[in-house]
Amino acid sequence: MDSSTLVLLTGTIFAASSLQAATGIGYGVIAGPVFLIIFNGVEALQLSVTHNLAIAVLLFPFLRAHVNGALLVTLVPGSVLGLLTGFFLQTIASTQALKAIAMLMVAFVTVALLRDILRPRQTRPTLAAGKPEKLGVGAVAGFMGGIIAMPGPVVSTWMSLRGWRKEEVRATVLAFFIFAYGTVFTFYLARQDFDMDTLVLGLALLPVVGLGLVVGTCATRFLSEDLYRKVLLAVLTLTLMLSVSDWLLLGRSE
C-alpha cells in the first residue's frame, strides 16, 4: 500500500469514527464504501466489520443505560436469517455488485438524514410498532449487515422515524451492532477466509479509531448536534459522489 493510499485510509477511519461518536452513525456508511474503493474486494468489508465491532464494544458501556431491551430482543432474532442470507450472497457476489449495494445504502442514509434535518422539530411520529414489523426490520438490517457490513442504517432510520429518542436509538443500535458484527466476524473466522494482512492492518489502525472516538466525543461538548448532522450530511454526500464515480469507472473497465 503506497503512502497516499495509507493517508486516505487513515483519514477516512479518523473522520468516520469521529462522526460515529458524535452522531451515532457514520462509520459503516462512510468508511465502508471508501474501503471498497481502496481494496476493491471483500477485504474492505472484513476491515469494516473489525472496526465497527471494536467501536460498538468501546462505546456501549457509556450508553447501555439507554438501550431499549424490549426492542432489542425482537431485532436480534429477526436478524439471524438476514445475516446468514446476506453473508452467503457476499461470498458469491462480484465486487461491482457489492459496491452498488453499498452505494444505494449511502444514498438511502443521505436522503433519510436530509429529511430528518428538514423535518419540523415539533413533528413526533407514533412509537407504535407491532412484532412482525420489528422482526422485519431486524431481518432487513441483518441482511445488509451480512452482505455489505452495514446493519445500522435500517434500524437507526426506522427508530428515528418511529419517534424514539436519539439516545435510545444510539444505544440500541450499538447493542445490535455487537451481535450483528460479532456474528459476521465469527462467520469470517469459521470459514477461514479472513485475509490475515487485512486483519493485521485493521488491528494496527485501531488507535486511529480510538483517537477519532475521543475527538468526536469531546467535540460534542462544544459543537451543536445540528452542526454535526450537517457535517455528516456533507461527508455522506461526498462519499456518495466518490462511490458513484468509482462504480461507473469500474463498470466501464469491465
Compute the distance between CA of residue 232 and CA of residue 136 in angstroms, rounded to an integer: 27
Share of the chain above pLDDT 70, in %: 94
Give the SS3 label for residue 67. coil
Question: Does residue 205 surpass a pLDDT of 80?
Answer: yes
31 grid coordinates: 468508511
Q: What is the pLDDT of residues 70-89, one digit of tens each?
A: 999 999 999 999 999 999 99
Can you give the pLDDT at residue 125? 56
Give the SS3 label for residue 175. helix
Can you give the pLDDT at residue 179? 96
Residue with the larger pLDDT of the pair 242 and 224: 242
Compute the distance between CA of residue 20 and CA of residue 149 in angstroms, rounded to an integer: 15
Question: Does residue 178 surpass a pLDDT of 90?
Answer: yes
Q: What is the pLDDT of residues 36-67, one digit of tens each?
A: 989 988 999 999 999 999 999 998 998 899 99
Can you give the pLDDT at residue 221? 78
Residue type, 23: T
Residue with the larger pLDDT of the pair 120 and 82: 82
Question: Does residue 90 surpass a pLDDT of 90?
Answer: yes
Question: Does residue 116 surpass a pLDDT of 90?
Answer: no
What angle, rounded to 10 degrees, do the helices at 43-63 and 166-191 form?
A: 140
Neighbours of 193 (CB within 10 A): 11
pLDDT band, residue 93 (cuts 50/70/90): very high
pLDDT band, residue 126 (cuts 50/70/90): low
Instruction: Answer yes or no: are the C-beta atoms of 34 and 8 closer than 8 Å.
Output: yes
- pTM, 2 dp: 0.89
Compute the distance between CA of residue 74 and CA of residue 97 in angstroms, rounded to an integer: 30
Give the SS3 label for residue 124. coil
The per-residue DSSP string of 193-250 comes to ---HHHHHHHHHTHHHHHHHHHHHHHHTTTS-HHHHHHHHHHHHHHHHHHHHHHHHHH
- Report the pLDDT averaged over residues 196-225: 86
What are 6-9's contacts with CB under 8 Å, separation 24+?
8/34, 8/38, 9/34, 9/35, 9/38, 9/205
62 grid coordinates: 457509556
Question: Does residue 254 surpass a pLDDT of 70?
Answer: no
Residue type, 209: V
Can you give the pLDDT at residue 122? 57
Residue type, 34: V
